[in-house]
Structure 1
Amino acid sequence: MKGIHSIFLACFSGLAFACFLASAFDPSPLQDFCVAINDPTDAGLNTLGISLVRIDYAPYGENPPHTHPRGTEILVVVQGTLYVGFVTSNPENRLITKILYPGDVFVFPIGLIHFQYNLGNTPAVAFAGLSSQNAGVITIANAVFGSNPPINLDVLTKAFQLDKNVVTHLQSIF
């Protein structure tokens, strides 16, 4: 019986230690907080681990396909009608879309390619919150066709199954 108690105690101790490690986290980046003032160089959300942005869309304007490698985005429409979507990761590559109206909310998971497009002939406005103070942004077309130095023509021709003249043209406009 004493052996069973020892085994139980060892297992319980190991489990408790594992739970302790699992609950460990990075220290808060909060250094101080500041109240927003009329100086555009001051960020009221600095070091709080979140970002907030207002996006104004021209009629039929878009926020082209892009990704945030370090943050999930939540978008709320306050004016206009937006067609939004994201593509799931490989190998599925499934497109998830929705048409949003004022008051609607949509979430773009961290790292996934997503977009917003204003369906109307009037301006649209949305606010987006990101789960990082530096979520990063990679605009897909700019990154692929506008890299410096350019990605090898043969690589892009094969990757996108395009004629070399088309790839050359795309590289020239990005």
Structure 2
Amino acid sequence: MKNTQPQSSFKKLCRKLSPERKDSAAEKRQNNRNGEDKNRDLEAVFAYMDANRDGRISADELQKSFTTLGEQLSDEEAEAAVRLSDTDGDGMLDYEEFAQLIKGDDESTEEDKTIELKEAFKMYIAEGEECITPRSLKMMLKKLGESRTTDDCRVMISAFDLNADGVLSFDEFVLMMR
């Protein structure tokens, strides 16, 4: 019996690092049912980051939240993130601005989506390589805090490897992500 756990973990991790994709009608119905849960989750993240509970997230609060989560965000990066997402010009993120930042722009073009997929794909390939290999996948998963064996990574890749060459090309990656 085939172990599907590594395959689903790989797909979930890739989707975390990639733009929204077109869902099937069944997935859209399920997503609508889960919409309220997603909104509650987003509200909880917003509340966590809104340390002073004023209904807005400052660059300082954003930076401290990242630090708490073990990530580094410079003063300049935090200020730029807020400035780019701040549509009302108050220098802070309200819930709607935060939600838009997290959800991304649903009106992005196919060209934008392809560029984003290429950027996500590049994260999984090792320098000098053109495909996702079991070794490069293992390294990326380790960076993301998920320890897998090379054999696990081979199984994950084989689930989406259409030409059975043992690696994922960009085209195979795109098909997996859509």
TM interval, short-chain normalised:
under 0.3
Structure with the bigger percentage of helix: 2
Structure 2-normalised TM-score?
Answer: 0.25
Q: Higher Cα Rg: structure 1 or 2?
A: 1
